[in-house]
Amino acid sequence: MANQSNGDRYNVTDITPPYDIRCDIKILMLPMRDGVKLHTSIYFPPEFSGKAGVILFRSPYSRTTWLDLPNAEALKADMIYISQASRGTGWSEGGAFDPAESHYEISDAEDTFNWLKEQDFFNGSCVMTGASYPGWLQWCAAFTGNCVLKGVSPHVAPLYGCTGSARTGGGNALSFAEKWMLAMHHRRHYGYAGVPSYEDMKLNWHLPVNTADDFAGYQTNKPFQKFIAAAAKPYAHMAANRKDFAKIRVPAFISGGWFDAFREESIETFQLMKNSAATENARNFTRLVIGPWVHSGLINQDIFGEENDMRATSKRRSTFLVNLLKNPDADPLPGEKQLRVFILGENRWADFDNWPPPESISRKFYLHSNGRISGSLPGEDETELSYISDPAAPVLSNNGAHGDLGYCDLRESEERSDILLYTSEKFTGKFTIAGKVSISFYASCDQPDTDFFATLSDVYPDGRSMICVTGMIRARFRNKNDQPELLEKNSVYHFEFDIGNIAAAFLPGHRMRIRICGQNFPACDRNQQTGSPIFADGVLNKARCSIRHDAEHPAILTLPEIPSGKI
């Protein structure tokens, strides 16, 4: 019999109580098909006998100094909890942790399922849980189509964000790539203690980016190099991670946050499940919850209320999984719609049948050279507006920190001269949007490459400019394929891209604002504006970028409006 107490706060699940949990533990090194053995801990309810369902948790964050705490809810429900360290992490074998080689995560999950089938304690039904990378591991497991698996519950989980640095629009999650990948390398070789502060060493600012591993003192790190190599072919990278959804046979409880870096990936996985999953149950029983959260949870309690912390979804997630274990052929949340999202501004929850909501209608607004947003077409006197994009002094995301500030005020950064601002008149009634926001405009640049970032914010009566969603396009990838097409100096090109998904209500007296600029650093890498291969040199060029607003070259903001009375 083993007793495990609360321990380090980073090693406790959100449903683990702060008192000792009685359980029986069996530990083994489970061999995979290539001979690599994975550290696997099996937690049995006290005095267990017979057979039971399994909640499986696979993770790269296991330490080599103590065992993970068991899942208290599984034990209370007389289920078996299994925690397994990914290859190359914790006590598991496998050399370096290399998420770019995701085929190992798929085959390791399948080998674990096939081992489970042979165990006397197993009743044939398994579900999975976990957040972030362990959420991505659930997708890998679901791709196997193995009959043992009955459901998954990925929370704030990536789709393509854990196998490479490339993101929608052709940019790269620089701060995440450097901090996460190199920290994982450090933990594997030197332990969790003493991971250096990459921010203090100004790692994000180091050029060329492809030598950041050496700059951090790790010499050339092959997994890191593979991870950032996705920058060269972002669309192929993202497509490769979507292709296996047609193999998924079980439903998913997907949850994410409006201010999480993987927001778009959470929503995309729901859409892929709805449209591509292999079975009717997988398509129709899958759920999505998007709350007012960053990756770690609710950090704006004063605005959204503690009752809307993401832990409030735990009971619903647990019900979903337990009901699938009991009857995988029945809807685990009967009578509930498939989608629940938090409406920013109005600060309430709303349920829909799909995303984007079928109630939404496309509404066009125009950006005018006088800095206004309106429904009126451009006039004859509209001019172009210009700014200087300087990667040596970039516009900062989150005040330059790696962490996320959540629902933050952008006013201070909006005072910069290298940002274009467009603001609507005050709304006289409530204006609600739910779905994907997009923008299109005609622009020129005096360098062969640049980035355009667009941010939608809610301007309060007191002047606060509260962020809703940000998106971007890299000029060389403007045609949304992996064939780089550089710009001709000062030639005019059409740019069209998604700013991102959001649900928000602009209340009476509020205004909406769009800002356009050339960087969002360090959340995204700096476009060096040289036209050189990405991440390969240390040169930084200033670029003069000009956006047109005339009738022949309109700048259009498209919003998914939910008409009054439809929500």
Cβ count near 118 (within 10 Å): 7
The average pLDDT across 471-489 equals: 97
Looking at the predicted structure, is the pLDDT value of residue 10 above 50? no
What's residue 400's pLDDT? 63
Q: Is it the case that residue 165 has pLDDT exceeding 60?
A: yes
- Residue partners of 206: CB distance under 8 A and separation at least 6: 212, 215
CATH 3.40.50.720 fits 2-166+233-352, yes or no: no
Chain-centre distance of CA 282, in angstroms? 22
Q: pLDDT tier at 65 (50, 70, 90 boundaries)? A: confident
Q: Given a cut of 60, is residue 11 above it in pLDDT?
A: no
Least confident among 21-30, 345-354, 495-504: 21-30
Q: pLDDT class for 74, splitting at 50, 70, 90?
A: confident
Q: Which CB contacts under 8 angstroms, 24+ apart, belong to 65-69?
A: 65/191, 65/192, 66/7, 66/11, 67/4, 67/25, 67/27, 67/41, 68/11, 68/41, 69/4, 69/6, 69/7, 69/11, 69/12, 69/13, 69/16, 69/21
- Mode of pairing for the β-strands spanning 21-31 and 37-44: antiparallel
Number of residues in the chain: 567
Exposed / middle / buried, residue 82 (Cβ in 10 Å: 0-12, 13-18, 19+): buried
Mean pLDDT to the nearest integer, 331-351: 97
Tokens of 139: 């997708």
Tell me the β-bridge partners of 2.
23
Instruction: Collect all residues with Cβ–Cβ distance below 8 Å to 535 and sequence separation of at least 6.
Output: 172, 208, 209, 210, 228, 231, 525
Q: Where are the domains of the chain?
A: 2-166+233-352, 361-562
| 305 neighbors 347 (Cβ within 8 angstroms) | yes
Sign (positive or negative) of CA dihedral 556, 557, 558, 563: negative
Please state the φ and ψ torsions of residue 489, each to the nearest 5 degrees: -55, 120
Strands annotated E in 176-263 = 253-257
Q: Give the right CATH number for 361-562 from 2.60.120.260, 3.40.50.300, 1.10.10.10, 1.10.3720.10.
A: 2.60.120.260
pLDDT band at 466 (very low <50, low <70, confident <90, very high): very high
Residue 264's Cβ-count burial label (10 Å; 0-12, 13-18, 19+) is buried
List alpha helices for 149-196, DSSP H: 174-190
Spell out where 185-303 has E strands: 253-257, 287-291
Residue for token digits 């059409």?
Answer: 494
CA distances from 278 to 49, 251, 274, 281, 282 (A): 35, 10, 10, 9, 7
* Per-residue pLDDT at 6 exceeds 90: no
Average per-residue pLDDT for the chain: 93
Phi, psi angle pair for 325, to nearest 5°: -65, -35
Contacts for 307-316 with beta carbons within 8 Å, 24 or more apart? 308/342, 308/347, 310/155, 310/255, 310/257, 311/14, 313/255, 313/289, 314/14, 314/15, 316/253, 316/289
42 close to 80: Cβ distance less than 8 angstroms: yes
Cβ(176)–Cβ(204) below 8 Å = no
Residue 16 clears pLDDT 70, i.e. is over it: no
pLDDT in tens, 104-152: 999 999 999 999 999 999 999 999 999 999 999 999 999 999 999 999 9
Percent of the chain topping pLDDT 90: 86
**327, exposed or middle or buried, with CB in 10 Å at 0-12, 13-18, 19+?**
exposed
Domains 2-166+233-352 and 361-562 in one fold: no
% pLDDT > 70, the chain: 95
Residue 403 is predicted with a pLDDT of: 61
pLDDT at 521 (0 to 100): 95
pLDDT over threshold 50, residue 422: yes
Q: Which of 37, 26, 36 is closest to 67 using CA atoms?
A: 26
Q: Are strands 80-85 and 348-352 parallel, antiparallel or unpaired?
A: unpaired
Are 72 and 5 in contact by the 8 Å Cβ rule? The answer is no
